[in-house]
Amino acid sequence: MNTRFLLATSLALCAAFASTRAESSPAPTTAKPVTDIRIVIKTTKGDIEGTLFASKVPMTAANFLNLAKQGFYDGIIFHRVIPNFMAQVGDPQTKQPGMEARWGTGGPGYRFADEIDPSLRHDKPGMFSMANAGPNTNGSQIFITHVPTPHLDGKHAVFGAVTKGQDVVDRVQKGDKIEKIEILDSTDALFAAQAKNIAEWNASLKK
């Protein structure tokens, strides 16, 4: 009789303990997948619509989008345009009077490593890619291609592509400006995944 009582008591205690653990344990969280993000670059020559490949090069996409959200590119000048090659933009010095001699040398105040996905190539017009001064010197400067430029593969990080407005890219001249950048999709999952990098960048960002 005592044996049956002890067994029943033990089973009841085990069940209660298991129930308490289940109630106190937090539910597992699943990070949302990072997906590609659509943007519109509004320029003095018209709109350039594009998709950033955040699912493949999340760090590079996050860098551009973080800067765009803070208005970094608003009013910035296309400082280097080579017909039948590319249009380059992203030097904040182009917004400062009297700095034309230094155009092309400025950045956000930090650099980050190359993030090159072999499946993303400079194989057609309208590829968004990072301008740099050598390996692992990416910042805020980008270029958009006019034509395929395969000699840049492996040297510059492709991170997006034009989906509409390639004619605008081709019409852009030195001195034209980005008026603003609109982000059409949520950046929440991307920014959550890149939170550490974004915090470091923002700490060094030249406003």
Q: Which domain range does residue 173 map to? A: 37-204
Distance of CA 168 to the CA centre of its chain: 22
> pLDDT tens-digit profile of 32-88?
899 999 999 999 999 999 999 999 999 999 999 999 999 999 999 999 999 999 999
| Residue 86 domain-assigned (yes or no) | yes
- pLDDT attached to residue 4: 53
Residues 35, 77: Cα–Cα separation, whole Å = 29
> pLDDT tens-digit profile of 107-132?
999 999 999 999 999 999 999 999 99
- pLDDT attached to residue 101: 86
pLDDT at 7 > cutoff 50: no
What's the predicted TM-score (pTM) here?
0.85
Compute the average pLDDT of residues 146-175.
98
196, 60 in Cβ contact below 8 A? no
pLDDT grade for 22, boundaries at 50, 70 and 90: very low
Catalytic center residues = 80, 85, 88, 132, 143, 152, 156
Compute the average pLDDT of residues 88-95.
97
- pLDDT attached to residue 5: 47
| Residue 66 domain-assigned (yes or no) | yes
SS3 per-residue string spanning 109-143: CCCECCCCCCCCCCCCCCEEEECCCCCCCECCCEE
pLDDT at 6 > cutoff 90: no
| Residue 2 domain-assigned (yes or no) | no
- The structural domain count of the chain equals 1
The partner residues of 145 in beta bridges, in order of sequence, read 86
Beta-carbon count within 10 A of 19 CB: 10
| Residue 1 domain-assigned (yes or no) | no
CATH assignment of the domain containing 58: 2.40.100.10
| Residue 24 domain-assigned (yes or no) | no
pLDDT at 10 > cutoff 80: no
Compute the average pLDDT of residues 8-31.
54
Q: In sequence order, what DSSP letters do the residues of the chain get, joined into one string?
A: -HHHHHHHHHHHHHHHHHHHHHHHSPPP--PPPP--EEEEEEETTEEEEEEE-TTT-HHHHHHHHHHHHTTTTTT-BEEEEETTTEEEE--GGGGSTT-GGGTTS--SS--B-----TT--S-STTEEEE--SSTT-B-S-EEEESS--GGGTTTS-EEEEEEE-HHHHHH--TT-BEEEEEE-S--HHHHHHTHHHHHHHHHH---
Query: Among residues of the chain, what percentage have pLDDT more than 90?
Result: 79
- Between 12-26, 48-62, 150-164, 190-204, the lowest mean confidence (pLDDT) is in 12-26
| Residue 30 domain-assigned (yes or no) | no
| Residue 59 domain-assigned (yes or no) | yes
Instruction: Tell me the backbone φ, ψ of residue 168, rounded to 5 degrees.
Output: -70, -45
